[in-house]
Chain A
Amino acid sequence: MTAHTMRSPSRPLLLIAPAAVLIGVFLILPYLNIVVMSLREPATTTPYGSGFSTAGYAKFFADFYYVGALLQTLWIGLLSTLVCFVLGFPLAMQIVRATSRWRALLYGIVLSPLLVGIVVRSYGWTILLGNNGVINRALLDLGLMQTPLPLMYNSFGIVVALSHVFLPFMVLPIMGALQAIDPALEDAARSLGASPRRVFRRVVLPLALPGIQSGAILVFVLAVSAYVTPVLIGGMRIKTMAVIVVETLIDQFQWPLGSALALILSATATLAVVLFMRLTRIRWK
């Protein structure tokens, strides 16, 4: 290596070049290409034709099957986000307040699902929720039920499993926000006469809000676009948009329609996220 190359100001750029090429060529360009693909002509022998048309979008609005699936998907996403929040917030508080030994244990338990593949986790839920599964078997054996409860092949089962799969994504950001709160603030509010409930509502919750927001957005986006869990838990009975998109791409081989459906799902999810951020800002400021 010569002194010249050492001093060259362009050298640091070589460090970022591979990542830039990877992201630019293999991520941003292909994403833009989805938009082009969604406007391609449908074809029968190839995945897409050479001309352009808006047939994919027209098909979505013409068929209630797709509109219904979109609403169902958003509903499942919303419920999963709510469940994750209700379970995740107390858990995050407990972890932040626990003594160090308990904290490490709880933290490990929260992270444990992340180390297990999504297929395996969803499979675990089919063993638990199936008509012949652990829960139903126990209820039948104890004589509490005569017929098995319908826990699977419906949106209930999907929400239960999705909330499990994505709970860590709610807990971690909330923990981050809670850890950043100066304990002196709570003490100050208490010493000024606020009840513990009031301290929680007026001090802790507003300060944890950024964490709650990012957790909720992460979980919602992940839940709405989830594929494996809805297929394994929902079976053929209930189809979310992501499942329909993959079917359209792989089984029906209709790429323009699949792209249009995926873009409509992303656009609605983005809209929901923007709406959510607006709402939470108004409430707390």
Chain B
Amino acid sequence: MRASRALLGLFCLLICAYLLAPILVVVGASFNAGAFLTFPPRGLSLRWFAAFLNNQVFIDAIVHSLWLALAATAISGVIGVAAALYYARFAARGKEAVRVAILLPLLLPEVLTAMALLFFFYAIGVGTRLGLGMIVGHVLITLPFVFLNVVTALHGFDANWDLAARSLGANPWTSFRRITLPLIKPGVINGCLFAFIISFDTFGISYLLKDVGGATLPLQLFDYLRFNFTPEAAAVSTMSIGMALIVVVATEKLVGLKIERF
């Protein structure tokens, strides 16, 4: 019995190594002093970070990714909170249908969703112009995360508080702003955090729907990796991992991180 426990522990240790290895290797490779990707690095250096910071293509891509993620998070934040309020407070019949419909983008293959949107935006004559299809796609795939987190937060407190505020004369908007929103704030922040990271990292949607010159960071990185093997890509990756980490740690400090992915 004890031996099998130890064996299970060892097996899990190996799995953890498997989970972390590719991420650690990328971070390690980014500090490589050599001209080619070697691991372990031949001497430490920040030269590839300097190279990437001087590469306008990557900088443009990061700026574009950040704007896109911000816009998508803001839009799906508003839509998601409203939908969650409806689901938790008002939906009676068809409640399950509402949930499934909003989670659909999470359940459907991303490449298929991207393809569907591509055809659709061409059919209505917009095409990939203005990145409109792109922003709609990003809102679609981030919406489930806001929704799930806010629904969980809404289940956590008594709807009567809201009713009390209303009976004391507050209109629905005031009661939402002064009672509901402060109480579900952690859920909203968690949901938006996930929305932001998902949008920042997503590939499939952006690949098919990008406007000319509208490459996001994952697209630029993918393009670069198909033909180059310098550690510059590792430096870019390390930076994007670092950014996600900062967002997560900041959220953890602010409201305490909860993960509702399903």
Q: Which residues of A contact B (CB under 8 A)?
A: 1, 6, 11-16, 18-20, 22-23, 26-31, 33-34, 37, 47, 87, 90-91, 93-94, 106, 109-121, 123-128, 132-134, 137, 161, 164, 167-168, 172-173, 176, 196, 221-222, 224-225, 227-228, 231-232, 242, 245-246, 249-250, 255, 258-259, 262, 266
* CB neighbours of A173 from chain B (8 A): 262
Contact with A along B205-223 (1 / 0, CB 8 A): 0011000000001100110
Q: Does B152 interact with chain A (Cβ within 8 Å)?
A: no
* CB neighbours of B173 from chain A (8 A): 1
Known: A109-B16, A113-B19, A123-B225. A227 touches B204 (CB 8 A): yes
B120 x A115 contact (CB < 8 A): no
* CB neighbours of A28 from chain B (8 A): 104
Q: Which residues of B contact A (CB under 8 A)?
A: 1, 4, 8-9, 11-12, 15-16, 18-23, 25-26, 29, 37-39, 78-80, 82-83, 85-87, 89-91, 98, 101-102, 104-105, 107-113, 115-120, 122-123, 136, 139-140, 143, 147, 171-173, 197, 200-204, 207-208, 217-218, 221-222, 225-226, 233-234, 237, 240-241, 244-245, 248, 259, 261-262
B22: which of A19, A87, A121, A246 is its contact (CB, 8 Å)?
A121
Given the complex of chains A and B, what is the CA–CA distance between A244 and B246 in angstroms?
37
* CB neighbours of A228 from chain B (8 A): 203-204, 222
B172: which of A6, A110, A221 is its contact (CB, 8 Å)?
A6
B25 x A124 contact (CB < 8 A): yes
Given the complex of chains A and B, what is the CA–CA distance between A124 and B238 in angstroms?
11
Q: List 17 A-B contacts (CB under 8 A).
A: A6-B171, A19-B86, A23-B104, A26-B120, A26-B136, A87-B15, A90-B15, A110-B19, A113-B19, A116-B240, A123-B26, A127-B26, A128-B22, A228-B204, A242-B111, A245-B111, A249-B118
Known: A19-B80, A109-B16, A164-B22. A126 touches B225 (CB 8 A): yes
How far apart are A5's CB and chain B's nearest CB, in angstroms?
9
The 4 A-B residue pairs with the shortest CB-CB distance in the complex, in nearest-first order? A124-B22, A225-B109, A117-B201, A30-B116
Known: A34-B116, A262-B115. A114 touches B261 (CB 8 A): yes
- Name the residue on B nearest A23 (C-beta): B101
Known: A90-B11, A120-B26, A255-B119. A22 touches B19 (CB 8 A): no
Given the complex of chains A and B, what is the CA–CA distance between A23 and B106 in angstroms?
12
How far apart are A106's CB and chain B's nearest CB, in angstroms?
7
B82 x A259 contact (CB < 8 A): no
How far apart are B180's CB and chain A's nearest CB, in angstroms?
12
B120 x A33 contact (CB < 8 A): yes
How far apart are B178's CB and chain A's nearest CB, in angstroms?
15
* CB neighbours of A12 from chain B (8 A): 86, 89-90
Given the complex of chains A and B, what is the CA–CA distance between A28 and B105 in angstroms?
10
Known: A114-B261, A232-B222. A225 touches B245 (CB 8 A): no
Task: Pick the most buried of B26, B245, B262: most chain A CB atoms within 10 A of its CB.
Answer: B26
Known: A117-B203, A164-B19, A258-B115. A127 touches B25 (CB 8 A): yes
B119 x A116 contact (CB < 8 A): no
A167 x B221 contact (CB < 8 A): no
A259 x B221 contact (CB < 8 A): no
Given the complex of chains A and B, what is the CA–CA distance between A192 and B221 in angstroms?
59
Given the complex of chains A and B, what is the CA–CA distance between A125 and B26 in angstroms?
9
B80 x A33 contact (CB < 8 A): no
A123 x B237 contact (CB < 8 A): yes
A18 x B79 contact (CB < 8 A): yes
